[in-house]
Amino acid sequence: MPKMTAGLAMAVLLGFSSGSHLSLADSEAIDIARQAARAWEGTTDGAKWTFDVVDPSIDKLAGFTSVIFYVDNDPVLDISIDLASGEVVDRNRCVYFDGPYFSRLRKKIQALTHSKELPRRTLATKLGCDRLSIKRYRSTSNSRLKAR
């Protein structure tokens, strides 16, 4: 099962701004997005896949770090990480990622930012969704997406 890395701890400790949000290193954001891509279970066998962190100056979702997951150069997921609550969503598909990895991430970030999870309906509205579907993920050792 994937664990929170020391990089997240350092990013959290060094990245506070006004005590309510944190900054994530691009590598940490990509690690989190990789877990969301695994949860999505899209077919990636034999495909070329990449991640791209969205430039914060053009990301229209304030308070989030966003990462695009591409398969064969086509954007598949737009994964956004709430920098106050640690919630991970795909804002285009209105999906909320859950499971042991995501739960630990939320708890760690919320403890450090002194924030709480938003009610799902509130989060959905913030993302422009009518509602969020929940995608649960339990890590397995034979995941399709492995570091290259």
Q: What is the pLDDT of residues 112-148, one digit of tens each?
A: 889 999 999 999 999 999 999 999 887 643 334 443 3
Q: What is the pLDDT of residues 3-46, one digit of tens each?
A: 455 445 444 444 444 446 678 889 999 999 999 988 887 656 66
pTM here is 0.79
Domains of the chain: 6-136 (3.10.450.170)
Beta strands in 23-108 (DSSP E): 49-53, 64-71, 74-82, 88-90, 95-98
CA 122 to chain centre: 18
Rg (CA), the chain: 14
Q: What is the pLDDT of residues 55-109, one digit of tens each?
A: 888 877 888 999 999 988 899 999 999 999 999 999 999 999 999 999 999 999 9
CA–CA distance, 79 with 34 (Å, rounded to integer): 9
Query: Would you state the pLDDT for residue 131?
Result: 94
CA–CA distance, 126 with 64 (Å, rounded to integer): 11
